[in-house]
Structure 1
Amino acid sequence: MKSITSLDQYIEQISKISCIEQEDTIIVYRGEGKKYLRPCMPNLFREEHLNKLNNFEMNILNSMKSQGLSSTDSAFELAVDAQHGGFPSRLLDVTYNALVALFFAITPHYTEKGNLHDKEDGFVYIYKIKEMYSPSSKHVNDLFANLLEDDSPLRKNQLFSKNHKLVDHVSKNKRIIAQQGAFILFYGNEFCEIPKEYKVTIKIDRESKGTLRKNLEIMFGIHMGSMYPEASNYVEVIKKKAKHLKSPTFNIINEIILAFESVRLQIEIKVVGLISDSVEGNELAEGFDDIFCLLMNFKKDFQEFLDGNIEIRNEYKTELDKQIETHNKYIYELYELFREESSAEFFSIDEVVLEL
């Protein structure tokens, strides 16, 4: 991976990535000042034992409320306040502004020395996401309340581990407004990385961090102080975002449908890559193996979820049967596509189809 050494190079790279994205794709960015073993991890998962404590997240939010550290009645907005107060949270900060992400890739936290990580390369992670949700919607607040429950299937079952959701910024929080921020909401009791198919990484040269910080301030007015201004007129920004916001009713079947859609989208991205790059031989076989593993893991997680939630299986039998039928039809079509593209041996279809 070639390192970026100037603003011109960075902007050119961002432009290339933006140009190839579809109109209905939302692009968000995250900057990190050094290479972490597991990048882009919400702080709740950095200490693995925390999320295994009884009612840990709920206790934090209740304590913040009782101590007067937040005045909101929304569990989601409480979590936002908690995160920016340094408390553990399952939310990951991202921004709509590529230059803001660059700032965080070359600048440490405001409580630390400005050149603390200048001996290490910085990184900007670019996420391509299909849907966005409003933080004030009933769906998001009901979903987050469900995730606060220790026995929630959305936390206990691997099936939902990749149901990451982009949630727009909270307008009451001045810091988020200044950073043109949003959040990616993570499910589960353990960290599950956003699939690499949705992510592009840009490396920022360590030797260029000081110059880049100076240029961001001189040319764009982006510096530590500018991250905390008063709110200004966001009418046009809000109008544009409103076209993408999703407002479904929260229930478990919608989360199951999202899990089905997520695994199929991952496969679609892999298939397009294999076909467009005219991959052959061992590389093609490895591509088939990746897709087989995705389907096998999904089948395993789905079956474990159904086996452990008989009441959900019975209540939503009609909807589940419809999703299984659609998924299996997709697998058969995928299998036929593989047969057309290659004479190589690949997975047995019986191993990955779901049982009605």
Structure 2
Amino acid sequence: MPNLTTITINSFQDFLNNVDQGQNSSESSLWFRGTGKSSYTLAPSLHRHDNVTDSASLLDYEKKLLTRFKERSVPYLQHRIDDVWELLFLMQHYGMPTRLLDWTENPFISLFFALSSANKNENGEYTDDAAVWILSPPKWNQCVFSNISYRGGAMSPSETTVTSYQPNTEAQFMHENPVAILGIHNSPRIVAQRGSFCLFGKSLTPMETIYQNGTFEQDTLKKIVIPHSIIGELLDKLVWMGITDSVVYPDLEGLAKETKRLFGFGV
């Protein structure tokens, strides 16, 4: 079983050194996920219900959420959405609970997410370490689908291998572990954020635990810890480089956040 490599950085250059790993083809591509608290697990929003904690009930909740969203979203959409995959990604975009976990192909976007969502106390001081996770989608999928000798990278929702993950699939027919999947680019945010996803199956186990208990190649999944003492410094560096709220969120909400940050207001 592989060990989870955890690296604590001390500077922006340290971060660059750890994400610059020769990504020059789809076989060596890496995905990144930033979290404002390093203790957060790699679990999707559907799994974070306060009271419902069993897989069958959560999958039943997903069916109900999909139906409700499909019925009630019609007045707000330019066209009716009948494709269940498109509906699922749209729900994720608007913050509905799903089995999708957001990742990005851009390490700077993930770092911005981590730093800008980090907790502060009443004195404006950062209180918790943040983190950026690094995933190799080809290595992850090749292990999850080792039973069919899969040798590709991230999958598309249109591939038959992903059929068992489709919403409304009965639990007994659904695959157990998450799959690294390419998103449907149905919103400007997904495009701007170079969005990609891990789609969970029926297992409620976080990805880092699945990794450590599985037969994955070493460093399929890694974690970079960002000490709270350097969060402000790194965030200023990112903003100076042009990684700002309006770039990550290309809409009025992003513009408002960026303007607030520019004038010294809390975001």
So what's the TM-score if we normalise by structure 1? Answer: 0.54
- Cα distance change on mapping 1:102 and 1:63 into 2, 3 Å: same
| Mapped contact 2:86–2:186 kept (Cα < 8 A) | no
Aligned length: 215
Aligned mates of 2:244, 2:93 — CA distance in 1: 18
Q: Deviations over 1:1-54 (max 9, x none)?
A: 553232222111212xx13998623310101111235x1111111226165437
Q: Would you say 1:31 and 2:51 are equivalent positions?
A: no
1:74 and 1:218 map into 2 onto residues whose CA distance is 41
Q: 1:151-173: CA deviations, max 9, x gaps?
A: 4322xxxxx423x2221132221
The equivalent residue for 2:245 is 224
SS, match of residue 106 in structure 1? helix
Gaps of 5+ in 2: 1-5, 139-152, 213-217, 252-267
Paired residue secondary structure (2:81): coil
What SS does the corresponding residue of 1:190 show, helix, strand or coil? coil
Q: Which runs of 5+ in 1 are unaligned?
A: 155-159, 231-356
Q: 1:139 to 1:122 in 2, by over 3 A?
A: same
State the alpha-carbon separation in 2 of the partners of residues 80 and 186 from structure 1: 13
- What is the CA distance between 1:192 and its match in structure 2? 4.4
**Aligned residue for 2:52?**
49
> Which is higher, the Rg of structure 1 or of structure 2?
1
Counterpart in 1 of 2:126?
118
1:171 match: 185
Distance 2:124 2:85 in 1: 32
Residue 189 and residue 4 in structure 1: after superposition, are their counterparts in 2 closer, same or farther (change >3 A)?
A: closer
The secondary structure found in structure 1 opposite 2:65 is: helix
2:257 is matched with none
2:176 alignment partner AA: S
Q: From 165, 176, 195, give the equivalent of 1:161.
A: 176
State the percentage of identical aligned residues.
Answer: 26
Equivalent residues in 2 for 1:174-189, closer than 5 Å: 174-189=188-203
Q: 1:13 aligns with which of 4, 12, 18?
A: 18
Alignment of 1:226-305 (within 5 A): 226-229=247-250
Which structure has the highest helix share of the two? 1
Q: Cα RMSD over matched residues?
A: 3.0
- Given the two structures, how large is their TM-score scaled by the length of structure 2? 0.70
Query: Which residue of structure 2 aligns with residue 293 of structure 1?
Result: none
- Contact map agreement 1:169 1:180 (CA 8 A) in 2: no
Aligned to 1:108: 117
